[in-house]
A = this chain, B = another copy of it.
Amino acid sequence: MRATLMYKAGDVRVENVPDSVIKHPTDALVRITASCICGSDLHPYHSMDADAGPARMGHELIGIIEAVGADVSTLRKGDLVVSPFAISDNTCEFCRENLQTSCSHHEAAFWDGIPDEGAQAEAIRVPLADGTLVKLPVAPDSALIPSLLTLSDVLGTGYHAAVKGGVKAGDRVTVIGDGAVGLMAVLSAKRLGAEQIILMGRHPARTDLGLEFGATDVVSERGDEGIAKVRELTGGHGSHVVLEAVGHMPAYQQAIGIIRPGGTISRVGVPQYQDAPVGFPSLFGPNINLAGGPAPVRAYIEELMPDILNGVIEPGKVFDTITALENAPAGYQDMDDRTSLKVLLTP
């Protein structure tokens, strides 16, 4: 079968790989009908060493069940399903607390941590299929597929940012980053009732979509200038909640600069740093909370799917490019060049 591999920074190829097959009785084999490239895939695209490759890529997928292992009880051949980016049994103590990213089952993992599988491919073996996969009540060619595909990562991740940020009615919220997750964070902050949603980003096509998703203001400046602009827009004291959807240190520093005393910085951009300021002048003195992490998107699928099915939200608008799996290398390049916001791949 065909699959996407990253050999090293900047080097992505679609190649033949051994067919995915069922290995455990709790597995399902899924023929992928829609996958995509994630902003977080650009981190290794910038920095991956050749000796870490080739790595199978992709952690977002919709597909049709081809076969199930003997112990899979809730799914059968022909079901259309979406997979979160994290595999979980959905029954352990962490899953029951809606923290499926910390599932304690020994097969639990992020797709990016499974060496011989990837979602940017024709098929995939899904461990713990009953816990991981969620059935979709539409046809594989439904116009809703792009929106439903966002349930696998970016919508749930943006929503997690807003939930962990404690966004509530009347809040002033600032979203740092106009990538797909940032835009989903805008949509999520609106869903939770934020009164003001400032989107920090400098790509007009993206920030325009952000305005459509509910942003009330756009700040294109960065650094001290951006901080001053946000403080001005928030009446001088800063933003009750900052949703950080980038993962680089300047975004963290920006968050520190614009957060209101007593507020929460919620991070969902995968941090590309280990240490950061948390001392008296940054977090401690003004009683700032630091929250967030990889989103347990499995927890949010049932909550968010009805809004997609009913047309209340259209998160699939983040896909401005839909192309064949074979074009994955160009998709990475286009997303890195910011000529594509998010690329949907159809095998």
Interface-facing stretch out of A62-70, A97-105, A151-159, A308-316: A97-105
Q: Across the interface, do A94 and B262 meet the contact criterion of CB distance under 8 Å?
A: yes
Q: A237-B104, A290-B278 are in contact. Are A284 and B271 (CB under 8 A)?
A: yes
In the complex with contacts A104-B237, A261-B94, A261-B102, A287-B293 CB distance below 8 A: yes
A52 at the interface (CB under 8 A from B): no
Residue of B nearest to A288 (CB): B293
Copies of the polypeptide in the assembly: 2
Residues of B within 8 A of A296 (CB): 287
Contacts of A285 in B (CB 8 A): 293-294
Q: Could you tell me which residues of chain A, from 74 to 128, have a CB within 8 Å of some CB in chain B?
A: 93-94, 97, 99, 101-102, 104
Q: Which of A233-262 contact B (CB under 8 A)?
A: 237, 261-262
Contact yes or no, B262 A271, CB < 8 A: no
Q: Enumerate chain B residues within 8 angstroms of A276, measured Cβ to Cβ.
A: 275-276, 278-279
Chain B residues within 8 Å of A281, by CB: 274
Decide if A292 touches B284 in the complex (CB within 8 Å).
yes
Q: Categorize the interface residue count of chain A.
A: 35 or more
Q: Which residue of B lies closest to A280 (CB)?
A: B271
A260 CB to closest chain B CB (Å) equals: 9
Given known contacts A94-B262, A290-B290, is B271 in contact with A274 (CB within 8 Å)? no
In the complex, A34 has a CB within 8 A of chain B: no
Complex Cα distance A102/B259, Å? 13
A97 contacts across to B, CB distance below 8 A: 262
- Chosen A-B contacts, 11 in total, with CB atoms closer than 8 Å, are A97-B262, A102-B261, A102-B262, A102-B286, A274-B277, A274-B280, A275-B276, A284-B292, A287-B292, A290-B290, A290-B291
Which residues of A come within 8 Å of B, CB atoms? 93-94, 97, 99, 101-102, 104, 164, 237, 261-262, 267, 270-271, 273-294, 296
In the A-B complex, the 9 residue pairs with the smallest Cβ-Cβ separation, listed nearest first, are A287-B293, A102-B261, A274-B279, A290-B290, A275-B275, A99-B262, A276-B278, A271-B279, A289-B291
